[in-house]
Chain A
Amino acid sequence: MSFERKDLLGIEDLRSEEIYFILDTAKSLRQILDRPIKKVPTLRGKTVANLFFEPSTRTRISFELAAKRLNADVVSFSYSTSSISKGESLLDTVKNIMAMRVDCFVLRHPVPGTPHFLAKNLPVSVINAGDGSHEHPTQALIDLYTIREKKGKLEGLEVVIIGDIAHSRVARSDIWALNKLGAKVRVCGPPTLIPPQIEKIGVKVFYSVEEAIKGVDVVMMLRVQEERQNRCFFPSLHEYREFFSLNEARLNLAKPEAIIMHPGPVNRGVELPAVLADGKKSVILDQVTNGIAVRMAVLYLLLGRKK
């Protein structure tokens, strides 16, 4: 059981053994975060460059902290799309940064496939922190880690993902990840936000939360963006909330020990009311803490071992 890749670009191509290896590595690194001195020298002297072409505070900080906990140096570049539109070639930008002898890029970009393009053209490691609606592999690993921590296993669990599936990279990565480890996945949302033929990648599709949530072990809520409304996907946030938000009544249809997850940020009062986001069944903050451990594991496995 090992992880021998140069990059982490997505979950779709990973084998289940690789995923378990990452999760187990994360588990052993997790306890560093509970120590008074939250540092180990593992990546001393290495430099990680965060390249974020989409706004993100939380993921960027999570990667930064993960690198710093392992004693790596971190530089963060936030690019607005205007610098791309000025005709600056992405590869050119990156080669410039590489000339400064960076060991790893963490890339978030609005267009699918961009991290893959970089990975192909660079000798250093590339981590996909979210490429458009395509994949967000570290988030899926965090979700798997959290479920395993709370439920002891993944195989045979019933998981429902509720929200804007069509535009969600988190949904896609989670679907691959959960299926590979033997969980059963359901997706639920208005028909306009369910991508065509998604049943083919191994999910059951529901248009009714009451139907979808029956007997599940894990409820994963996704954020819905107001901008979607302007493109005719649903008539209003009011209606969305009435039909697709999580509430006590719907939650009661899940198993009594069901957990509530959300990749964040939560639209409180839209898909999830505050009382449930902060309630006993919510593991949302655990996801955040585990996020550091999982990202530490990924950085360690890519950069920290003698090749």
Chain B
Amino acid sequence: MSLLIKGGRVVDPMSGTDEILDIFIRGEKILKIGKGITFSAKKIIDATDSIVIPGLIDMHTHLRDPGREDEETIRSGTLAAARGGFTTICCMPNTSPVIDDISLVRYILRKAEKEGVVEVLPIASISKNEDGETLSEMGKLRREGAVSFSDDGKWVRNAHLMRRALEYVKMLNLPLISHCENEDLSKNGVINEGIFSTILGLPGIPKEAEEVAVFRDICLTRLANSSLHIAHISTVSSLNLVREARKRGIKVSCEVTPHHFTLSEELVRSFDTNTKINPPLRGKDDVKALREGLKDGSIEVIATDHAPHTPEEKELDYALAPFGIIGLETALGLVIKELVKPEILTLSQGIAKLTVNPARILNLDRGRIREEGLANLAIFNLNEEWEVKKEDFLSLSKNSPFVGWSLPGKVKWTIFKGKVAYRS
């Protein structure tokens, strides 16, 4: 199958490309990039007035398969991803059962191959069944296809286990991904602890619950001389700890979600459970600091932490509703609206946080547009606004606080391995 994408503004952060170019694809790969390509192609996409970027990579997605296929399946999750311009998603292991065994890694890869429309790369757990007590067989899991390890959803409370996990993973040349939350401090909390938890009478999650965990994990990373990636960073102090560590040469990276650089805690006043997230929405100063962190490069990655939940689950009272919101379909729009348009990041920098950077951290040959590379691309219109509507979500779940928002950056096409994965 051959495909020609004509006349788009090709933005490839890895090579620094930003010009109108044609892209010719044959089979799964890009054959040629250049001006005025005249090869005959089976299909032609007119990308005039559109931007062509490498297919986005989400380092942090929750597909609820196996176990909660009512919330999301591998298929529906990849459809949602494609709609958002993603061609690679890394799924977290806290499914039911937990992805702690090679049979489960194989399950995900096979199912994604068969039913998914974009690439799914499994992240396996650090400890068996995320029990925080025994190491999972990380070597074998890696060999089978896991791209990293995390006990996401939980923090590895046992410092000795975390230390050994950080050491062990060095032989695999991968970072560990840590969900930093000291549950002794965050227990029962549902929103950020502060003025709003006081006014609303809801139990709070203090920022320190995240910060003490971030600090410990940074220290252990230094001790183990290993690499750490901190998931969903949300506070000023967490970011300062990361900055300081990086200055000292400790190999730590971090990611921020679009909702954390967009929304702040006042929204919880609505008691809408789509504002209930872990880590919680924080204060305006945190949002500002996170944007600064993106700008100065301390935060290298934007990742969605796409967390689907059914309406029955989210339509419970604020204490009972599970944490989490979906994010794959709104991520790019929020990056454009909240970071690129206000000139906090250039377009190339913004796209890099979703392509080159996650690819580098995970040692993946993805996130770039090059001849002989995989034809994973997204084509979107920078200025075309679109309204976020519940009924348009391709995810099985609709738990998003952005319903009703008008976002720029409408994705028109998503191409995965040379095939159309999404068309608007």
**A and B interact:** yes
Among A231, A233, A239, point to the contact of B139 (Cβ < 8 A): A239
Q: Mark A218-251, 1 if CB is under 8 A from B, else 0.
A: 0000000000010111111011001100000000
Kindly state whether residue A192 has any CB partner on chain B within 8 Å: yes
* Contact indicator A233/B164 (Cβ below 8 Å): yes
Q: Give A234 Cβ to nearest chain B Cβ, in Å.
A: 7
* Contact indicator B164/A192 (Cβ below 8 Å): yes
* Contact indicator A232/B137 (Cβ below 8 Å): no
The prevalent SS among residues of A at the interface is loop
Q: Give B202 Cβ to nearest chain A Cβ, in Å.
A: 37
Among A191, A235, A242, point to the contact of B134 (Cβ < 8 A): A235
Kindly state whether residue A207 has any CB partner on chain B within 8 Å: yes
Q: Give the residues in chain B near A242, CB-CB below 8 Å.
A: 139-140
Known: A190-B168, A207-B171. A232 touches B139 (CB 8 A): no
* Contact indicator A232/B171 (Cβ below 8 Å): no
Q: Give the residues in chain A near B403, CB-CB below 8 Å.
A: none
Known: A191-B168, A207-B171. A232 touches B160 (CB 8 A): yes
Kindly state whether residue B411 has any CB partner on chain A within 8 Å: no
Known: A192-B164, A242-B140. A235 touches B135 (CB 8 A): yes
Kindly state whether residue B63 has any CB partner on chain A within 8 Å: no
Kindly state whether residue B19 has any CB partner on chain A within 8 Å: no
Among B134, B140, B224, point to the contact of A232 (Cβ < 8 A): B134
Q: Give the residues in chain A near B138, CB-CB below 8 Å.
A: 235, 239
**B interface residues, how many (CB within 8 angstroms):** 20
Kindly state whether residue B167 has any CB partner on chain A within 8 Å: yes
Among B158, B160, B161, B171, max chain A CB count under 10 A is at B171
Q: Give the residues in chain B near A16, CB-CB below 8 Å.
A: none
Q: Give the residues in chain B near A238, CB-CB below 8 Å.
A: 137, 140
* Contact indicator A235/B161 (Cβ below 8 Å): no
How many residue pairs between the two chains, A and B, have CB atoms under 8 Å in the bound complex? 49
* Contact indicator A239/B137 (Cβ below 8 Å): yes
A231 CA to B135 CA, complexed, in Å: 9
Among B140, B161, B171, point to the contact of A191 (Cβ < 8 A): B171
Q: Give the residues in chain B near A191, CB-CB below 8 Å.
A: 167-171, 224, 226
Among A208, A231, A234, point to the contact of B168 (Cβ < 8 A): A234
Among B134, B135, B136, B224, max chain A CB count under 10 A is at B135
Q: Give A229 Cβ to nearest chain B Cβ, in Å.
A: 8
Among A208, A232, A236, A243, point to the contact of B164 (Cβ < 8 A): A232
Among A231, A239, A243, max chain B CB count under 10 A is at A239
Q: Give the residues in chain A near B168, CB-CB below 8 Å.
A: 190-192, 233-235
The prevalent SS among residues of B at the interface is helix
* Contact indicator A236/B165 (Cβ below 8 Å): no
Q: Mark B125-140, 1 if CB is under 8 A from A, else 0.
A: 0001000001111111
A236 CA to B226 CA, complexed, in Å: 21
Among B128, B134, B167, point to the contact of A192 (Cβ < 8 A): B167
* Contact indicator A235/B171 (Cβ below 8 Å): no
A191 CA to B167 CA, complexed, in Å: 5
* Contact indicator B140/A239 (Cβ below 8 Å): yes
Q: Give the residues in chain B near A207, CB-CB below 8 Å.
A: 170-171
Among A190, A192, A208, A242, max chain B CB count under 10 A is at A192
Question: Chain A residue with minimal CB distance to B226?
Answer: A191
Chain B 278-292 interface residues, beta-carbon cutoff 8 Å to A: none
Q: Give the residues in chain B near A235, CB-CB below 8 Å.
A: 128, 134-139, 168
* Contact indicator B139/A243 (Cβ below 8 Å): yes
Q: Give the residues in chain B near A231, CB-CB below 8 Å.
A: 160, 164
A233 CA to B224 CA, complexed, in Å: 13
Chain B 224-279 interface residues, beta-carbon cutoff 8 Å to A: 224, 226
A228 CA to B136 CA, complexed, in Å: 14
* Contact indicator B171/A190 (Cβ below 8 Å): yes
Question: Chain B residue with minimal CB distance to A243?
Answer: B139
Among A229, A234, A235, A239, max chain B CB count under 10 A is at A235
Q: Give A172 Cβ to nearest chain B Cβ, in Å.
A: 19
Q: Mark B143-171, 1 if CB is under 8 A from A, else 0.
A: 00000000000000010110011011111
A239 CA to B102 CA, complexed, in Å: 12
Q: Give B136 Cβ to nearest chain A Cβ, in Å.
A: 6
Q: Mark B162-188, 1 if CB is under 8 A from A, else 0.
A: 001101111100000000000000000
Q: Give the residues in chain B near A234, CB-CB below 8 Å.
A: 135, 168
Q: Give the residues in chain A near B226, CB-CB below 8 Å.
A: 191
A190 CA to B136 CA, complexed, in Å: 14
Q: Give B187 Cβ to nearest chain A Cβ, in Å.
A: 25
Q: Give B156 Cβ to nearest chain A Cβ, in Å.
A: 10
Q: Give B142 Cβ to nearest chain A Cβ, in Å.
A: 10
Q: Give the residues in chain A near B137, CB-CB below 8 Å.
A: 235-236, 238-239
A239 CA to B136 CA, complexed, in Å: 10
A208 CA to B135 CA, complexed, in Å: 19
A243 CA to B168 CA, complexed, in Å: 12
Q: Mark A42-73, 1 if CB is under 8 A from B, else 0.
A: 00000000000000000000000000000000
Q: Give B54 Cβ to nearest chain A Cβ, in Å.
A: 31
A233 CA to B134 CA, complexed, in Å: 9
Q: Give A34 Cβ to nearest chain B Cβ, in Å.
A: 45
Q: Give the residues in chain A near B224, CB-CB below 8 Å.
A: 191
Chain A 173-212 interface residues, beta-carbon cutoff 8 Å to B: 190-192, 207-208
Q: Give A196 Cβ to nearest chain B Cβ, in Å.
A: 8
Q: Give the residues in chain B near A239, CB-CB below 8 Å.
A: 137-140
A236 CA to B224 CA, complexed, in Å: 20
Q: Give the residues in chain B near A190, CB-CB below 8 Å.
A: 167-168, 171
A190 CA to B167 CA, complexed, in Å: 8
A235 CA to B102 CA, complexed, in Å: 13
Q: Give A60 Cβ to nearest chain B Cβ, in Å.
A: 33
**A/B interface sample: 27 pairs, CB < 8 A:** A190-B168, A190-B171, A191-B167, A191-B169, A191-B224, A191-B226, A192-B164, A192-B168, A207-B170, A229-B134, A232-B161, A233-B168, A234-B135, A235-B128, A235-B134, A235-B137, A235-B138, A235-B139, A235-B168, A236-B137, A238-B137, A238-B140, A239-B137, A239-B139, A239-B140, A242-B139, A243-B139
A contact residues vs B (CB 8 Å cutoff) = 190-192, 207-208, 229, 231-236, 238-239, 242-243
Shortest 5 CB-CB distances between A and B: which pairs? A207-B171, A235-B135, A232-B164, A191-B167, A191-B170
Given A190-B168, A232-B134, 4 extra CB contacts under 8 A:
A192-B168, A232-B160, A235-B136, A236-B137
